[in-house]
Amino acid sequence: MKITELLHTKMTLSFEVFPPKDEVPMDGLLETLSHLYLLQPDFISCTYGAGGSKRGKNMEVCGAVKKTGHTVMPHLTCIGNVRDDIKQFVSEYIDLGIENILALRGDFPAGWEGTKGDFAYAGDLIGFIRAEFPGLCIGAAAYPEKHLTALSMESDIGYLRSKQDKGAAFIMTQLCHDVPAFERFVEQIRKAGITIPIIAGIMPVLVREPVIRMTLFNGCSIPAELAAIMGKYEKDPPSFTKAGIEYTVAQIHRYMAAGIDGLHLYTLNKWEKITEIVRAAGIDNGIQRKEAATA
Ligand code: FAD
């Protein structure tokens, strides 16, 4: 199913996973997915070459999700890909029955200064996929606190607008712990004529160091409430995780109250704590989601 069709009828819940390394069997991720499916997600997304790695098992993961009858969205980047590569990958996805794709520029591998492919920016990739495969539902990334390398918020939003104009049908955002900043961003992009639905990416707060690393890597801020948890439980990982889960549940409710169109949890291929969060937030089925949003 196309994600835009889902977004027309409900606030979506989705999970992001990453593919196992080439030498690692799929069993662990398939087991994780089997638990995530119990939470009735509307779709699963699978990253592509994040951190500059190769495509790896992205296609295999997407095929496995699709086989279970769940909607899936592969991520695809410009890194090292020429037009023919993109055509081949997208054709393979379509052969698997996949109808959605998140089209990204990708982060440059260490030592690279460009994509070393035919497309320099996500907008170019989106335009190409739209022209070659008009039936696909294409998502674009967005940055509520500005992309790390963007010259200004205004220019970043201008490029986001052009991603919509070139064929993106929905937005999926970078992690953003600062919900008021997210709300200001939504206001700004709506003023800029960006009308497509917005799915908020949420990074669960579970382990202190990776949360700090990923937040700073993406140039995002750490609000005082989260900083306090980080300070208080610096040397007490179990208490940090407990407080982090409560914080993440509260964040989910704040995002829902802000009227977002969908919630996308970066699972980091974990299911136990994600299940705890989703159940505690009361979002493990559509009806509760709507009630919670209006509560
Ligand atoms: P772009 O939209 O191309 O923007 C990149 C930068 O260039 C921005 O600063 C923008 O302002 C600027 N820009 C855009 N267009 C132009 C233009 N025409 N001229 C000049 N400047 C321009 N990375 C992976 O490698 N694999 C993944 O699976 C992955 N999944 C992600 C999922 C989500 C939800 C998000 C938010 C990010 C993901 N990323 C992933 C990271 C992403 O690839 C990086 O953040 C990357 O640096 C930017 O990608 P983009 O698609 O936003 O690029």
List, for residues 153-166, the tens digit of each pLDDT value.
999 999 999 999 99
Can you tell me which atom of ligand 1 is nearest the CA of 156?
Answer: 11
- Confidence label for 285 from pLDDT (cuts 50, 70 and 90): confident
**pLDDT surpassing 50 at residue 25:** yes
Q: Is the CB of 106 under 6 A from ligand 1?
A: yes
Task: Decide whether any atom of ligand 1 lies within 6 Å of the 174 Cβ.
Answer: yes
CA-closest candidate to residue 251, choices 188, 207, 201, 212: 201
pLDDT value at 289 more than 70 = no
CATH of 3-294, one of 3.40.50.720, 3.20.20.220, 3.40.50.2300, 3.10.180.10: 3.20.20.220
Dihedral angle of Cα 114, 116, 122, 123, to the nearest 10 degrees? 100
Which residue of the set 16, 154, 183, 234 is catalytic? 16
Is the per-residue pLDDT at 7 higher than 60? yes
How far apart CA 35 and CA 29 sit, in angstroms, is: 10
DSSP 107-123: PPPTT-SS-SSS-SSHH
- pLDDT at position 72, please? 98
**Among the ranges given (106-115, 239-248, 269-278), the one the predictor scored with the smallest mean pLDDT:** 106-115
- From the list 286, 293, 262, 229, the residue with the least C-alpha distance to 39 is 286
- Sequence spans of domains, the chain: 3-294
Total-model pTM: 0.96
State residue 180's pLDDT score.
Answer: 98
| Furthest-apart CA atoms within the chain: distance in Å | 53
Structure tokens at 244: 């982090």
Please give the pLDDT value at position 295. 46
As a whole-number percent, the residues of the chain with pLDDT over 90 amount to 91
Q: Considering the chain, what is the average pLDDT of its residues? A: 95
Tens of pLDDT, residues 248-276: 999 999 999 999 999 999 999 999 999 99
Residue 217: pLDDT band with limits 50, 70, 90: very high
DSSP letter (8 states) at residue 52: G
Q: How far is CA 33 from CA 36, 64, 66, 159, 247, in A?
A: 5, 10, 12, 34, 24
Active site residue 23: no
Whether residue 140 contacts residue 126, with contact meaning beta carbons closer than 8 Å, is answered with yes
Percent of the chain at pLDDT above 70? 95
Work out whether the CA dihedral 26, 30, 36, 40 comes out positive or negative: positive
- Ligand 1 neighbourhood includes 168 CB (under 6 angstroms): no
Q: What is the C-alpha to C-alpha distance for residues 224 and 18, in angstroms, rounded to an integer?
A: 30
Q: Is the CB of 48 under 6 A from ligand 1?
A: yes
